[in-house]
Each structure stands twice: as C-alpha cells, then as structure tokens.
Homo-oligomer: A and B are copies of this chain.
Amino acid sequence: MTPFFRSLAVIGPGLIGSSVLRRARETGTIAETLIAADTSSRVLERVRELDIADVTTADLAKAAQADCVMICVPVGAVEQVAGQLLPHMKPGSILTDVASVRGQLGPKITAILPENVAYVPGHPMAGTEHSGPDAGFSTLFEDRWALLVPPEGADQNAITTIEKLWTLCGARTKILTDDEHDRICAMVSHLPHLLAFTICDTADNLSDELRAAVLDYAASGFRDFTRIAASDPVMWRDIFLANREALLGTLDRFVADTQAMADAIRKGDEAGIISRIERGRAIRRTLIENRQA
C-alpha cells in the first residue's frame, strides 16, 4: 500500500506530535517521508534517537515543503508558527493544527492563507499528563475522537484528507464549529483540569500537619483528581486564557451545582443528595457504554 501522503511534517513533536510520528512509523500507511521540526535542538536530538522521523530540522521553511504540515505547538504559539510556515507552503498542500482551544484561530489563519493551500485544523481528544517527545505512543489516538473544526469555506477534499489522516491514527472523527468545540472542551477537559489544580491548591493550603496527612492517605478519591494536575503549567495557563469565556461560564454553572449539593447536605435533604449522586452514576454508565471510560 502506498502511504497516504508523500510527506508529513510535524511542527513540535511533543506528546501529540510524536505520537502521530510513531503511528506513522509503525504502520507505514501515513507518509513516505516524516519530518519533525522544532526550535529546540534537544527535542530534535531526542527525535533522532527515538528514530521516529526521517528528517529533523529547526528550519520551518523547510518543514513547510511537506504535503501536510501539522502544527503541534502549545495553543498560544499556533498563530505565530502558522504565519512563519504559510509563505513557504506548496500549492495543494494542507496545514493543520491540534490546538485544544479554537477561539479565533480559524478565521485568523484563514485570513493569511496563500492561494491553493488549505487549512483544516483538528483536535485529538487524547492525552496524558506527560509531555515531550518521549511521552508519545503510537496507540494514543485509538478509539479517541479527533474533532475537526474546518473554517467556513474550507476545501472539502482537504477536510476528507484530514479525516483520513486521523482515521489512520486510529481515531474517530467529528466535524464541529469552533464555538461548539470550545464549549465542549471547557466541560470535558478544561474545567476538570482547573478543578484538579485547585483541589491540590486547597490541600496545599492546609496546616502542615493536615497536609502531610492528606498526602499520606490520598487513596480513594484525591489521587484520581491529581493525575491530571501533573500536566504542563504553561500549556494549561495558555488553554485557560484562550478559552477564558467558555471555561468561566462552565465553572459558574459547576459552582452553582456544588452550592446546591452543599445546601442539600446542610439541610439533610436525603432525596436531593441521592438524586444528584444518581445523575453522576448515569453519566458514568453512559461513558462506559460509549467506550470513553
């Protein structure tokens, strides 16, 4: 089978980017030539040691020559990197990114798109709390969703191509608007991370003695919340700021629901407590049925 692309360039081979490269390397179905670009020579050195790319380069203009160029840098840097890549991209090629907040990225990058270059971003809903080229693995996207957010007027063939790319990575794809995407991610990813960081913060603010005890006895609950709290601070700062509006709106609703549960507990409203817990269990069951748990 001929690989799907002649060349695929990953800009920023971290957790997501290096997982795409590993997948492409292992299956041989994605691209004939794999290019990894990064400003960090240490990252490129590591990519060579891992042998997950055919070409490594710090030169974005060179990476921009690929048939498909995938920006995998932190969300705050996507627009700037796109601006550096686009003038060098070939007619007929496709730019994509994996930014986890869409905001105004779609219209902004579309506005600077050269003729005959398509822009079809997509966000794979997968990850771990680890980062960097060593953190990736080829099965990261299996059974996960890649949320495609093509800007208005995006080329239909390019959309189909990026869908196929993610399918080859093992993911299922869905097309959403930027706004839908950002509201969904606020709920499923950004709010949980905010709460995880905050519960650790609350624990950290306890008296020394009590904090030491919490750390000792974290099984059954607390530790589940802390896995994602190990995530990269700069990445998450950028996500929180980029999706500020949707995130704070979701947080307001969550705090209101928390206060309602607190009221039920304060008043000893047994039925109220049970009905809130039951709703949680129902959601969990659905997750298991949807193979997302």
A180 at the interface (CB under 8 A from B): yes
Nearest CB of chain B from residue A144's CB, rounded to whole Å: 5
Bound Cα distance from A180 to B213, whole angstroms: 9
Given the known interface contacts A201-B279, A240-B265, the answer about A287 and B226 at a Cβ–Cβ threshold of 8 Å is yes
- Residue ID in chain B nearest A192 by CB atoms: B221
Query: What is the CA–CA distance of A200 and B282 in the complex, to the nearest angstrom?
Result: 9
Bound-state CA distance A40–B178 (Å) is: 54
> A166-209, CB under 8 A of B: which get 1 and which 0?
00000000101000100111011111111111111111111000
Of residues 275 through 293 on chain A, the ones whose CB sits less than 8 Å from some CB of chain B are 276-287, 290, 292-293
Assuming the A-B contacts A257-B201, A279-B200, are A228 and B218 also in contact, with contact meaning beta carbons closer than 8 angstroms in the complex? no
Check if A226 sits within 8 Å of B284, measured CB to CB. yes
In the complex, A152→B225 CA distance in Å?
A: 35
Which chain B positions have C-beta within 8 A of A290? 215-216, 218
Q: Residue A1 at the B interface, CB < 8 A?
A: no
Greatest chain B CB density within 10 A among A241, A261, A279 is at A279
Chain B residues within an 8 Å CB radius of A111: none
Cβ contact within 8 Å between A194 and B283: no
Interface size on A, residues (CB 8 A): 92
Give the interface centre of A126, A226, A250, A283 by most chain B CB atoms within 10 Å: A283
Cβ of A109 under 8 Å from chain B: no
- Counting CB contacts under 8 A, is A270 at the interface? yes
Contact present for B241 and A273 (CB under 8 Å)? yes
Given A191-B199, A262-B248: A225 touches B225 (CB 8 Å cut-off): yes
Name 30 interchain pairs, CB-CB below 8 A, sorted by A: A125-B217, A126-B219, A127-B220, A145-B217, A184-B210, A184-B217, A187-B206, A188-B220, A192-B224, A195-B195, A198-B261, A198-B276, A201-B261, A201-B280, A215-B290, A215-B292, A216-B290, A223-B292, A224-B225, A225-B225, A226-B284, A230-B280, A230-B285, A233-B274, A233-B278, A233-B281, A236-B277, A237-B270, A248-B262, A255-B258
Q: Which residues of A contact B (CB under 8 A)?
A: 125-127, 144-145, 147, 174, 176, 180, 183-185, 187-206, 210, 213-231, 233-234, 236-237, 240-241, 244, 247-248, 250-251, 253-255, 257-259, 261-262, 265-266, 268, 270, 273-274, 276-287, 290, 292-293
